[in-house]
Amino acid sequence: MENEKRLIIIDSSSLLYRAFHALPPLTNSKGQPTGAVYGFLLILFKAIKDVQANYVVACFDTKKPTFRHEQFVDYKAHRAPTPDGIISQFPVIKEVLGAMNIPLFEKEGFEADDLIATIAKKYADSAKVFIVSGDLDNLQLVDENIQVYTPGKSIKETILYDKARVVERFGVTPEQMNDFKALTGDNSDNVPGVPGIGKTTAADLIQRFGSIKNLYDELSTDTAILKPKVKEALKANKEKAFLSLKLVETVKDMEINFNIEVCKFGNFDQQKLAAIFKELNFTTMMDKVSSIVF
């Protein structure tokens, strides 16, 4: 394990949101909101320690619409505007990550999840990959070499999802998560799914048929033994189901200039980072950094 690459990919936007809602508001002496940044760093430093990561990279969403908005104009349409308290903390977390020499990736037209999937799949054969995220959208990537590390009910609790943990919670394998979500939909992203199909029914259908395609192939023969309401919902919403499948599938072959060796963690100017933490009034944060690096 001494020479093993252990790469953390930070789903930065979702982690900042999660930290913002998990902690009470904090500000520094100049009135700059800092609570989300503080929570983000607590989760990240705990993750680095827990999984013994020696490489770290951060991926961000951009403000621009993505190719998914072209496929479905109402994609993420129901999301409330981003609170000002979060918006003002994005430059701050980027400054902190930059001071730690953690590379930042974002690309207009795509989501952070697409960057994460591309990097994870590219290096899964040569590194243990841990996706640190505030949500579970990346469970579709979990395999023998990729796991998802996420806060539990509080940011002090964490859950590490491997294949067995995904099956235990959702009743389907990571490879089937997209088919599962294509049936249930996703309210946070306004992915429609199939109205009337809940998580229990979706898991049962995917367990029985293996995939959305197999399910609808069976439906077309009229031999599928299903409850009348379920069969009716599936037939009436076939287009929504396959659209949803496209929307939740992450891109795994983006063209990005990524070099894992640049992500080696621990080589940075301690004084520069300490000065930023002092400005933020993070009086104990440097001690936490020292415990995982030096």
CATH number of 270's domain: 3.40.50.1010
Between CA 268 and CA 44 the distance in angstroms is 17
Which stretch of DSSP H or E encloses residue 26?
Answer: none
β-bridge mates for residue 8, sequence order? 56, 130
Token pair 């063209």 is found at 255
- What pLDDT, in 10s, does the model give residues 131-165? 999 999 999 999 999 999 999 888 889 999 999 99
Assigned domain for 169 exists: no
Mean predicted lDDT score pLDDT of the chain: 93
Residue 80 lies in a domain: yes
Q: What is the mean pLDDT of residues 223-227?
A: 79
Residue 274 lies in a domain: yes
Interatomic CA distance for residues 52 and 7, integer angstroms: 9
Report the DSSP pairing between strands 158-161 and 128-132: unpaired
User: pLDDT band at residue 73, thresholds of 50, 70 and 90?
Assistant: confident
The CA–CA distances, whole Å, from 268 to 41, 98, 217, 293 equal 16, 9, 55, 10
User: Are residue 35 and residue 150 in the same domain, yes or no?
Assistant: yes
Domain residues for the domain of 199 are 174-248
Question: Does residue 287 belong to any structural domain of this protein?
Answer: yes
CA 246 to chain centre: 17
19 pLDDT band, cuts 50/70/90, is very high
> What pLDDT does residue 2 have?
60
The verdict on 79 and 198 lying in the same domain is no
Q: Is the pLDDT of residue 104 over 80?
A: yes
Residue 10 or 85, more confident: 10
Q: What is the pLDDT of residue 49?
A: 95
In the structure, what pLDDT confidence band is assigned to residue 294 with cuts at 50, 70 and 90? low
Same domain, 145 and 286: yes
The pTM for the full model equals 0.95
